[in-house]
Amino acid sequence: MPAEPSLATLPSPALRYFLATRPAFLSVTLVACLIGLASAHAGSVPLDTADALLTVIFALVAHAGVNVINDYHDAGNGSDACNTERLFPFTGGSRFIQNGVLSMRQTAAFGYGLLASVIPAGLWLAWNSGGGLIWIGLAGIVVGWAYSAPPLRLMSRGLGEIAIAAGWLLVVMGTDFVQRGGFASTPLVAGASYALLVASLLFINQFPDRKADAIAGKRTLVVRLGADTAKWGYLLLAVVAYGWLVLQIGRFNLPQGCAAAAFTLILSFRAAKLLIEHAAEPSELAPAIKLTIAATNLHGLILAATLAFGRMPLSPQ
C-alpha cells in the first residue's frame, strides 16, 4: 500500500491540491464520458470535438469537487479520523485533513470552488446543445453534494449506492445530450450496467470503513445490514448489472458486440467470492477492491468501444 500524504512529502501547494482530488479515481468519470460519446456516435451524431473535450474536462472537475467535499464532511462527522481499519488509498478518505496537509477550511473552499467552476462551462454547453442539459447538470451536482453533505447525507441513510448509480448515469446522459442536442434512450440503456458497477465499487469500499462509519453515526447500507448480510449485496449488484446488459442486447437495444463487456463478470464474480469469504476481515479486502476497480473501468471501456464501432441493430418486425 502507498504511504499516506504528509506535508513533508508534498512541499508543493499545487501538488497538494491536485492530489487532494484523488485523481486516480477520476477514471470512472472519464469512462462514463466515453460511453456517452459512443452513445451519440452510435446514433449517427457527428461529434463536436471542442464540446466533447469541454464536457470531459468539467465532468472530471465536478467529480474532483465531489471527492474533496466528501473528505470535508467525513472529517466533520469524525468517521475518517476514527477509521483504523482503512485500506489507503481505497477507503478512509484522502487523509489530507487528518494528516494536516490541508485544513478543514481549505478543503471546503477548494471543493465548493471546484463545483462552482463547473457552472459557467455547463451554461455554455447548454447554450449550444439545449436547456435540458441544465436539468441533467443540476441533478448531477445536487446528487454529488447530497451524497455526503447535511442535511440529506444520502450515504448515511443507506442511499449512497442509489446516488452513485444515478450520478454516473447522469454523466453518460449529459455527455450524450451535449452532442445530440436532446434526450435519447440509448445513453440510459447503455450506461445502466456501468453505473451499477460504479455503485458496486462504492459498496465494497464500505466494508473496511464499516466500524468507523457506525461509530460516527453514518448508517451506510453495510452498517445497516451488517457484513455477513451485506456481502451478498455486492453479488446482487453485479448480477443485475450484467443481466441488464445481456437483456438489452437480447432486446436489440444495443449492438451485439457490446456483449464483450460482459466478460468482465469474471473479475466482478472473483471479487464477490473474495468479499463473501472475507467480509468481516478488512485487511483481506484490498484484492477484491482492486478487482472491482478493474472490472468497472474495463467494462465501461469495452462497452464504449463496441458501442462506438458496432452497428445499432434493427428490431425484428
Q: How would DSSP label each residue in 245-259?
A: HHHHHHTTSS-GGGG
Which range (1-10, 197-206, 223-232, 277-286) has the least confidence? 1-10
User: In Å, how far are 85, 156, 169 from 214, measured between CA atoms?
Assistant: 13, 10, 29
Which pLDDT belongs to residue 317? 42
Give the pLDDT band of residue 311 (cuts 50, 70, 90).
confident
Assess contact for 200 and 235: CB atoms under 8 A: no
Q: Is the peptide bond before 46 cis (omega within 30 degrees of 0)?
A: no
Q: Which amino acid is at 187?
A: P
Residue 3 lies in a domain: no
| Confidence at 316, pLDDT banded by 50, 70, 90 | low
**Which pLDDT score is estimated for 71?**
96
Domain count for the chain: 1
**What are the b/e assignments for 57-67, b being 16+ CB within 10 Å?**
ebbbbbbbbbb
Average pLDDT over residues 293-304: 98
For the segment 48-68, the average pLDDT, to the nearest whole number, is 97
The grid cell for 88 is 489507503
**Taking Cα atoms as reference points, which of 283, 236, 294 lies closest to residue 91?**
283
With bands split at pLDDT 50, 70 and 90, how would you rate the model's confidence at 270? Answer: very high
Give residue-wise pLDDT tens across range 10-52.
999 999 999 999 999 999 999 999 999 999 999 999 999 999 9
Q: What is the pLDDT of residues 150-175, one digit of tens each?
A: 999 999 999 999 999 999 999 999 99
pLDDT confidence of residue 2: 83
Q: Report whether 26 contacts 298 (CB < 8 A).
A: no
Between CA 251 and CA 256 the distance in angstroms is: 10
Where does the pLDDT of residue 315 fall: very low under 50, low under 70, confident under 90, or very high at 90 and above? low
Q: What is the pLDDT of residues 201-226, one digit of tens each?
A: 999 999 999 999 999 999 999 999 99
Average of pLDDT values for 62-66?
A: 97
Give the percent of the chain with pLDDT over 70.
99
- Copy the grid coordinates of residue 78: 469524525
Asked if the structure places residue 133 within a domain, the reply is yes
- Check whether 314 has a pLDDT greater than 80: no
In a domain, 314, yes or no: no
| Residue of 163, 262, 243, 305 whose CA lies nearest to 171 | 163
In tens, the pLDDT along 101-160 reads: 999 999 999 999 999 999 999 999 999 999 999 999 999 999 999 999 999 999 999 999
**CA–CA gap between residue 61 and residue 115 (Å, rounded):** 7
3-state secondary structure at position 295:
helix
DSSP element (H, E) containing 153: none
Domain carrying residue 209: 13-309
Asked, for residue 68, whether it belongs to a domain, the answer is yes
CATH code for the domain of 163 = 1.10.600
Residue 175: closest CA among 42, 314, 295 = 42
pTM (predicted TM-score): 0.95
Is position 290 within any domain? yes
Assigned C-alpha cell, 67 = 471527492
| Single-letter amino acid, residue 316 | P
Q: Say if residues 63 and 29 touch (Cβ distance below 8 Å).
A: yes
C-alpha cell at 224: 445497516
